[in-house]
């Protein structure tokens, strides 16, 4: 399928619309294969290498302040901020970023990652608008109305500049970033709890819970107790406020961009990490606010960092992706996949990490090129089969600077482009899992709080596809599946109602609880078989499958048997093969750590 091409006389019109049952990016009326490239360190960017392999979609960082992306690391910024000088914004920094891409790919579409964290001068001028941690300022507070309005003015000024720039015909969307690690976590990772939040919290209670008397800030130490529930309703209200305020701010900033672009450009954000972040202090548990917001078009996260990005675990989205799709929004995944070429930041540029803070194993890649390519393949296969957009995040640059790796990148992109042409691209899952983002506000620091995240590992090894929603959406999809799995304990009203429905209507279900915190892959397969759910594989490998493609990442070496639900014309894409075989069974020998991808064509 041909990609949309640049019309240099007009602004880009981008939308998220249905394409084969999946919310998909459309540019100028044409469905667009959303496989992109990005790096933080533009001086080491591989824009040209990716453009040569057919990539025409890019992102790059735009910073409002020249400060590091989190508050914990004493690390210099990787570029200047547009608003570092209070009296003279430097929009040429945006121009330079765009030019670097267009020099290598003149027809590129670009969606800048716009980090609206505030400059140091703003922080110094507004001590009542910051987080206070250990007696010192810890960046802007997401409860501050002054921060919200001043950041919105900067964002409006920036967007207006872009809309009226010579590059507007290349700008296909905006990713709003902020907070710790750009993922909208409170900078202190402690719910912004300080004296500056007292007034906003009192106003929140008055507006939403007028029957609850304001009594100051709650006792957050209750969350440290190794108890399943803290049973402090006042604390629960504060934690709800901690997430709702972040989501509300994101919504407000999205509306600013929509206004400045006349609603013609997609806007998205990192948020809603209920599958990855169990702490209610980070502020990421109000995804439903953004799902109901017409100004938010896509939600994104990195591939899961579960167990330090353990290759034996399914690298899922960090948010309930099928709820996002249900609400007509697109899922975008940041594939920051390390390779054997990955260097530590201090090795890449010692001036950016002079204290060598970024040296833990998570910042290192595999030892071999072969392993690197297989990890890239397995990350890609999930996005392809789930219908997600993706960007390869070459974080420090040079991770993919190899002929064989770049040949692989071309093959993966070509496959993605071809996939857009299928009439049915949606999920074929017969079982759904449900997470409850609201329950974290009730929970103490017991293993029960993190059990949903751990259950993903076994789910990925079950051998059948599974969808994942927030319990908020249960009523909308309850009749679509043969069985369900509840990943959160039965505490909130939504979860209790869903379980009651299943009991009353004899809907098969499993539920995680204090007594049963994890189901093994074998237990999950037995449950599926007992409820007529098709199991494709029984070898405890990671499997993805829909009507058009299937993929398996081998966790063990051996012969893998895949029993398909119907006969189709099977053609191997990885490893590539020209022979097509009509069959409903696949047997293939795979080494541990290898990825296989096959196409399922019509007979």
Give tens-digit pLDDT for 235-282.
999 999 999 999 999 999 999 999 999 999 999 999 999 999 999 999
* pLDDT surpasses 80 at 6: no
CATH architecture, domain 431-530: 3-Layer(aba) Sandwich (3.40)
Query: At residue 30, does pLDDT exceed 60?
Result: yes
Rounded CA gap, 492 and 488, in Å? Answer: 10
Helix (H, G, I), strand (E, B) or coil at 131: strand
Say what the pTM is: 0.96
How many whole angstroms separate alpha carbon 438 and alpha carbon 147?
Answer: 26
Does position 292 have pLDDT exceeding 60, yes or no?
yes
Q: Count of CB atoms within 10 A of residue 153's CB?
A: 12
CA distance 9 to 554: 49
Q: What is the mean pLDDT of the chain?
A: 95
Give the SS3 label for residue 563: strand
CATH code 3.20.20.80 region(s) in the chain? 14-195+234-419
Q: Quick check: 43 pLDDT over 60?
A: yes
Give pLDDT, residue 7. Answer: 45
Domain with CATH 2.60.40.1180 in the chain: 542-601
- Which pLDDT does position 371 carry in this prediction? 97
Architecture of the structural domain at 542-601: Sandwich (2.60)
What is the structure's pLDDT at 5? 46
pLDDT above 50 (res 118): yes
Average pLDDT on 1-10 reads 50
Report the C-alpha gap between 62 and 113 in whole angstroms: 6
Q: How confident is the model at residue 577 (pLDDT cuts 50, 70, 90)?
A: confident
* Cβ-based burial of 136 (10 A; exposed 0-12, middle 13-18, buried ≥19): exposed
Q: What is the pLDDT of residue 348?
A: 93
- Local confidence band at 51 (pLDDT 50, 70, 90 cut-offs): very high
pLDDT of residue 570: 95
What secondary structure letter does DSSP report for 456?
A: H
pLDDT at site 579: 85
At 162-213, the pLDDT tens digits run: 999 999 999 999 999 999 999 999 999 999 999 999 999 999 999 999 999 9
For the residues of 183-243, what is the DSSP string, one character each? BTB-TTSSTT-SGGGHHHHHHHHHHH-TTSPP-SS--GGGGGSS-SB---HHHHHHHHHHH
What is the reported pLDDT for 3?
A: 56
Beta-bridge partners for 35:
390
The three-class DSSP label of residue 549 is strand
Q: Which residue has the tokens 């670097």?
A: 100
- Label residues 34-48 b or e (16+ Cβ within 10 Å = b): bbbbbbbbbebbbbe
C-alpha distances out from residue 383 to 352, 417, 418, Å: 32, 12, 14
Among the listed ranges 25-39, 71-85, 433-447, 488-502, which one has the minimum average pLDDT value? 71-85
pLDDT at 576: 85
Specify the length of the chain in residues.
603
Residue 55 has a pLDDT of 98
Per DSSP, the three-state class of 410 is helix
547 alpha-carbon distance from chain centroid = 24
Helix (H) or strand (E) holding 289: helix 287-291
Task: Compute the C-alpha angle 390/485/515, nearest 5°.
Answer: 120
Q: Give me the DSSP letters along 238-270.
A: HHHHHHHHHHHHHHHHHHHHHHHTTT-SEEEEE
- Biggest CA–CA distance in the chain, Å, is 71
Nearest CA among 149, 166, 214, 223 for reference residue 189: 223
**What average pLDDT does range 312-340 have in this prediction?**
98
Q: Are the CB atoms for 353 and 345 separated by under 8 Å?
A: yes
pLDDT tops 90 at residue 4: no
Pick the CATH number of 14-195+234-419 from 1.10.3720.10, 3.20.20.70, 3.20.20.80, 1.10.10.10: 3.20.20.80
Domain with CATH 3.40.50 in the chain: 431-530
CB neighbourhood size of 133 (10 A): 18
pLDDT confidence of residue 8? 45
Structure confidence at residue 73 as a pLDDT band (50, 70, 90):
low
Question: Which helix (DSSP H) or strand (DSSP E) does residue 125 occupy?
Answer: helix 120-125
Contacts of residue 559, Cβ cutoff 8 Å, sequence gap at least 6:
587, 588, 589
Selection from 437, 543, 562 nearest residue 495 by Cα? 437
Q: How high is the pLDDT of residue 77?
A: 86
Q: What is the pLDDT of residues 364-392, one digit of tens each?
A: 999 999 999 999 999 999 999 999 999 99
């Amino acid at each position: 399928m041909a990609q949309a091409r640049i019309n240099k006389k007009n602004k880009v019109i981008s939308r998220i619309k249905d394409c084969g049952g999946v919310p998909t990016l459309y540019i100028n009326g044409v469905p667009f294969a959303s496989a992109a490239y990005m790096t933080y360190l533009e001086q080491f960017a591989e824009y040209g290498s990716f453009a040569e392999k057919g990539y025409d979609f890019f992102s790059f960082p735009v910073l409002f302040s020249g400060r590091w992306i989190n508050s914990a690391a004493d690390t210099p910024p990787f570029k200047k901020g547009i608003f570092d000088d209070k009296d003279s914004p430097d929009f040429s920094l945006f121009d330079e970023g765009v030019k670097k891409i267009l020099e290598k790919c003149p027809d590129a579409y670009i969606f800048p990652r716009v980090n609206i964290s505030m400059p140091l001068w703003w922080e110094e001028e507004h001590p009542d608008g910051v987080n206070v941690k250990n007696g010192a300022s810890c960046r802007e507070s997401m409860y501050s109305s002054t921060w919200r309005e001043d950041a919105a003015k900067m964002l409006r000024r920036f967007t207006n500049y872009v809309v009226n720039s010579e590059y507007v015909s290349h700008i296909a969307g905006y990713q709003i970033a902020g907070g710790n690690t750009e993922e909208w976590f409170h900078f202190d990772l402690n719910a912004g709890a300080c004296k500056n939040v007292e007034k906003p919290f009192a106003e929140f209670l008055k507006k939403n819970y007028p029957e609850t008397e304001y009594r100051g800030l709650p006792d957050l130490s209750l969350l440290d107790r190794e108890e399943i529930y803290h049973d402090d309703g006042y604390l629960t209200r504060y934690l709800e406020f901690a997430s709702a305020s972040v989501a509300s701010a994101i919504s407000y900033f999205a509306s600013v961009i929509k206004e400045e672009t006349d609603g013609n450009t997609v806007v998205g954000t990192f948020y809603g990490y209920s599958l990855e972040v169990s702490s209610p202090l980070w502020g990421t548990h109000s995804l439903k606010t953004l799902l109901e917001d017409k100004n938010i078009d896509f939600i994104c996260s990195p591939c899961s960092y579960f167990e330090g990005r353990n290759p034996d675990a399914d690298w899922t989205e960090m948010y309930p992706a099928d709820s996002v799709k249900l609400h007509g929004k697109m899922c975008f995944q940041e594939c920051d996949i390390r390779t054997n070429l990955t260097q530590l930041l201090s090795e890449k540029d010692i001036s950016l990490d002079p204290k060598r803070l970024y040296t833990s194993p998570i910042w290192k890649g595999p030892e071999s090129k072969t392993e690197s390519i297989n990890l890239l393949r397995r990350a890609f296969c999930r996005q392809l089969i789930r219908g997600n957009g993706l960007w390869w995040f070459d974080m420090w640059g040079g991770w993919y600077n190899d002929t064989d790796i770049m040949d692989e990148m071309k093959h993966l992109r070509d496959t993605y482009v071809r996939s857009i042409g299928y009439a049915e691209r949606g999920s074929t899952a017969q079982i759904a899992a449900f997470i409850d983002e609201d329950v974290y506000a009730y929970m103490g620091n017991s293993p029960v709080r993190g059990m949903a995240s751990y259950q993903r590992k076994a789910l990925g090894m079950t051998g059948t596809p599974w969808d994942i929603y927030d319990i908020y959406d249960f009523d909308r999809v309850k009749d679509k599946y043969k069985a369900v799995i509840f990943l959160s304990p039965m505490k909130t009203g939504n979860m209790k109602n869903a379980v009651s429905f299943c009991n009353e209507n004899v809907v098969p279900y499993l539920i995680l609880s204090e007594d049963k915190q994890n189901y093994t892959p074998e237990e999950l397969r037995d449950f599926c078989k007992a409820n007529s759910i098709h199991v494709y594989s029984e070898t405890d490998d990671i499997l993805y499958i829909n009507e058009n493609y299937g993929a398996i990442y081998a966790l063990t070496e051996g012969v893998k048997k895949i029993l398909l639900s119907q006969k189709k014309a099977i053609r191997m894409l990885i490893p590539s093969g020209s022979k097509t075989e009509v069959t409903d069974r696949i047997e293939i020998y795979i080494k541990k750590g290898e990825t296989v991808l096959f196409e399922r064509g019509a007979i």
